[in-house]
Amino acid sequence: MNTRVRGQNLTYSIANHIGTAIVTGVYSKDNPIPIEADLSKEFGASRPVLREAVKMLTAKGLLSARPRRGTWVQPESHWNLLDPDVLGWLLQRKFSTALLIEFTELRLAVEPAAAMLAARTAGAAEKAALSAAIERMQAAERGDDDPLESDIAFHVAVLQASRNRFYAQLTGFTATALRFSIRMTNRYKGVRLASVAVHKKVSDAILAGKSAAAGEAMRRLIQEALRIMKKRHAESAARKGTPEA
């Protein structure tokens, strides 16, 4: 891997390289991260820049650093899986249906409740964003927009329409994971596009202020995706002769 990185955000580039190396097992408890001087030489970066990258990874739970003790890789149990970067690195490490199932189970606990709340609290701006997302999905059906990005925009709009700051904090995490899960579920269903009609049921209920209907429509949408993932995961496990995770 060419670790000589350049660009406007050198710190993030280094963090991305090291973060990917950690989740892919290049660096681990048994294979420690190189010392600062070696990393600085490897990336062609100053020590202050490198230290900022290490701070970023420490904040994400991948590294721990102490004066005079150096820097070491934390076990996966310490990683912040809700961080979009960490989740993205994990999904790129090895495509994992099991990991996406866990993510979808989280969505099933969060998004129906967010949709219910949005039906009660969404203002004009949030409703406009939700309508725009549906229009983008309709445009994608005509080939005039990106199917994946429009689908993600819809789910992000619902979280933001809830006007709940904690749900809104999940938008980056959700968008990252959806880039993998939407492709997977659409491929397993044998379609290129998400069903606009199913998504529009959620949107229509939110715009009409029908809280229970919005929550149920979102629950059914996510439950179907979860059903497909679990089916494919079970089939894959049966082919490999391994028990389901």
> How would you write the chain as a 3-class SS string?
CCCCCCCCCHHHHHHHHHHHHHHCCCCCCCCCCCCHHHHHHHHCCCHHHHHHHHHHHHHCCCEEEECCCEEEECCHHHCCCCCHHHHHHHHHHCCCHHHHHHHHHHHHHHHHHHHHHHHHHCCHHHHHHHHHHHHHHHHHHCCCCCHHHHHHHHHHHHHHHCCCHHHHCCHHHHHHHHHHHHHHHHHHHCCCCCCHHHHHHHHHHHHCCCHHHHHHHHHHHHHHHHHHHHHHHHHHHHHHCCCCC
Residues 42/36, Cβ–Cβ less than 8 Å: no
Q: Which of 164, 182, 175 is nearest to 222 (CA)?
A: 182
Mean pLDDT, residues 49-62 = 94
Structure confidence at residue 94 as a pLDDT band (50, 70, 90) = low
**pTM for this predicted structure:** 0.80
Between 119-128, 184-193, 229-238, the lowest mean confidence (pLDDT) is in 184-193
CATH superfamily of 95-240: GntR ligand-binding domain-like (1.20.120.530)
Mean pLDDT, residues 186-215 = 88
Check residue 30 and give its pLDDT. Answer: 87
Q: How large is the greatest C-alpha to C-alpha distance in the chain, in angstroms?
A: 61
Domain parsing of the chain, residue ranges: 10-78, 95-240
Check residue 8 and give its pLDDT. Answer: 47
Is the confidence at residue 32, as pLDDT, over 70? yes
Q: Report how far Cα 239 is from the mean position of its chain's Cα atoms.
A: 28
Check residue 100 and give its pLDDT. Answer: 86
- Which residue's entry shows tokens 């070696």? 38
Say if 10-78 and 95-240 have the same CATH topology.
no
What's the token pair of residue 99?
Answer: 């990991």
Check residue 191 and give its pLDDT. Answer: 60
Higher pLDDT, 150 or 66: 150
Structure confidence by residue, pLDDT tens digits, 115-124: 999 999 999 9
What's the token pair of residue 48?
Answer: 């202050």
Higher pLDDT, 215 or 238: 215
Neighbours of 125 (CB within 10 A): 10
Is the confidence at residue 163, as pLDDT, over 60? yes
Structure confidence at residue 242 as a pLDDT band (50, 70, 90) = low
Mean pLDDT, residues 55-73 = 89
- CATH class as words, domain 10-78: mainly alpha
Structure confidence at residue 2 as a pLDDT band (50, 70, 90) = very low
- Which residue's entry shows tokens 């097992």? 25
* Angle value at C-alpha 114, between 112 and 116, nearest 5 degrees: 70
Mean pLDDT, residues 68-86 = 89
Mean pLDDT, residues 209-235 = 92
